[in-house]
Amino acid sequence: MRPIPLCALAAAVAACATSTSTHSTDMPNATATTAPDRDTNPLLAPSPLPYQAPPFDRIRDEHFLPAFAAGMEQHLAEVRAIADQPEPPTFANTIAALERSGTLLHRTAKVFFHLVGTDKNEARQRIQTEMAPKLAAHQDAIHLDRALFARIEAVHAARTTLADAEQRRLVERYHASFVRNGARLDAGAQQRLRAINEEASRLETQFQDRLLADTNALAVVTDAREQLAGLDDSAVSAAADAARAAGHDGKYLLSLQLPSSQGVLSSLDDRATRRRVFEASLQRCSRGNEQDTQALVRRLAALRAERAQLLGFANHAAYVLADQMAGTPAAVMQMLEGMTPAIVAKANAEARELQAHLDTALPGTRLEPWDWAWTAEKVRAARYDFDEAEVKQYFELESVLQHGLFHMAEQLYGITLRERRDLPVHHPDVRVFEVFDADASAIGLFYADYYARPAKRGGAWMSEFVDQNELQGTKPVVVNVLNVPKPGPGQPTLLTFDEVTTLFHEFGHGVHGLFSRVRYPLLSGTNVPRDFVEFPSQFHEDFAFDPAVLQRCARHWRTGAPMPADLVAKVQRARKFGQGFASLEYLAAALLDMAWHTLPPGTEVPDVAAFEAEALAKAGVAHPLVPPRYRSAYFAHVWPGGYSAGYYAYLWSEALAADAFAAVMERGGMNRRNGDAFRDAVLSRGLTREPMAMFAAFRGRDLDTRALLQRRGLL
């Protein structure tokens, strides 16, 4: 997942901050100081470290509020100077000047919201609660400045006189952003818009806090090792360590992951434990306690619909999609509904197969939702002679990283990554790599933060500490975040193949930021539509299955023996197994997202669970054995996560990725010719061109969705 870019600060509050905990890091907590001091607050000046990497060894929690205050004050002064200058508006004195503004505020926000997402503590939670509405108001103060917008509109009207295509595109993006954020509204409507944005930012922060608190509260504690039968020694050790850290000495704790379906369900042999884990997952934030988010969900949906109406749209989805590749809710629904019959049929066929297996293996056992993943693993093992526990023994994290991921990067793009241990990090588990191009020139820095911890929000994502742009002469500093369970002392970090795929996925986001060669920050790197940003990441997933990659990185962690050729073949064949379930849980979540965000303004939703059930049934995806990947009460992607009316984007982007990877296979596979072509056409361009034009430049034609159906085994 790629959070929404930080060019819009209120969106950054929503996208980058989705966890809370009392966990402490190596940075002590404190209240804010009363005045900024450049000598003692490292955020107030550019970092002296290479690539302007954050000086985490010097940053303290008490630095953030003064830095935010100084950053907002400085930013508003810069904007005021642009808006009030007597010279006629030009690209240089208006648009380029805006691109140079807000450096301190953006620097502070990037560091803070990354820490909120990966290492939230009580001090950062308080700061986030205080800053969320202030940042929303700050954004509104700029977007609703009439004098500033008048200058932007004048430059926009004369944009055809600009010879530089990138400058013309930047002007168009600025103009569209201001219009979409209310610049043309009358004074009364603007006042209401400010109130909506401020309230929404507070509610999104509350949602984030409640979700992580309830996720931690509902972690399943077991008393006996026998209740964890089926888990390997590394996973059991991790569960024991997690229980000890939570104050349950001598017991085992199974933490919940962000989606409805939990990874451990495929391995746990104890049916009662599976049921406990499954039910805990679906109960999150809907138990009527202080962590319940259902009232927040109803209010956020209402506020978004009202805001869309103010801005001239029928509903929130229409507002969001007008600035995406899809364009309209109708286009999204056409895609989702067009795939629904095949996906539901596939899931039903899988359910029948799983029940048939239980009828033979455990007569009298009726398939339940908590049995699906476990039974599917047994069927997959029988069909493909495939054992996930056996496969994990060949995917040790360091081997996958060095000999798989980095090998792919070198073969495709000619780059090398060298670890740097001299740069400070915000947590001991984080590693830093310097990235060099084929000609040995420096590209930027890549941070890897792969282990789960209580203060880190669930899921996986990429973000940046520093954006590449030629205007300010900065090189990219990007970070990949995963949530791989950390093994106990002396135990190896063994990855499931899903986790290996996620590693490659997030690295796809990473190179999208690292390879950016763009002049202006707003168009840089991953600052592209949501239904395009997942294209490079999903494109890179397929390289995890490349025989040349597996040959190098898939080696037994004890013996060093390569994965046997027959097991490699089984891994590749088994990839399409279970796609009915995977596709249906995703499709149901995407349709649920659209149902919430196509509500007309003024619609009352008295009961969240009833609305959800009706929406899924109406769409034809209500399945008793396959819950949506995210239910409404813990759908972090769409309430605080920046993907509202946009969860469909993964499937939309996957169609692009599947077709683009098919081109790679047609042209010789994992080689520099293909990598350089993809880098030139897509990864280096940011949003300097229309997304579909970038895809077509690489593919050589328009999109063909058949590759997606083949990828998912749905043909």
Cβ count near 100 (within 10 Å): 14
Q: Which residue has the tokens 């229409």?
A: 318
Find all residues with CB under 8 Å of 480, minimum gap 6, and list them: 446, 447, 448, 449, 450, 460, 461, 462, 503, 506, 507, 509, 510
Residue 578 Ramachandran class (φ > 0 left, ψ -120 to 50 alpha, else beta): left
Decide if 368 is catalytic: no
For strands 442-451 and 477-484, give the pairing.
parallel
Q: How far is CA 1 from CA 484, 532, 583, 653, in A?
A: 15, 12, 17, 12
Find all residues with CB under 8 Å of 350, minimum gap 6, and list them: 376, 578, 580, 581
Among 550, 282, 501, smallest CA distance to 399 is for 550
Phi, psi of 450 (to 5 degrees): -105, -20
Return d(Cα 472, Cα 469) in angstroms, integer: 6
Token pair belonging to 92: 């240089």
Q: How far is CA 226 from CA 222, 251, 269, in A?
A: 9, 11, 9
Please identify which of the residues 464, 506, 541, 585 carries the catalytic annotation. Answer: 506
Among 71, 117, 107, smallest CA distance to 640 is for 117
Cβ(597)–Cβ(320) below 8 Å: yes
Cβ(342)–Cβ(637) below 8 Å: no
**Is 252 strand, coil or helix?**
strand
Cβ(293)–Cβ(286) below 8 Å: yes
SS (H, E, C) 88-107: CCCHHHHHHHHHHCCHHHHH
Return d(Cα 578, Cα 590) in angstroms, integer: 19
Edge-to-edge, what's the strand order for the sheet holding 431-436? 416-419, 431-436, 442-451, 477-484, 461-466
Return d(Cα 436, Cα 615) in angstroms, integer: 50
H-helix segments, 294-368: 294-310, 316-321, 329-361
Strand partners, 254: 220
Among 691, 641, 643, 523, smallest CA distance to 166 is for 523
Return d(Cα 202, Cα 531) in angstroms, integer: 27
User: Could you give the residue numbers annotated as active site?
Assistant: 506
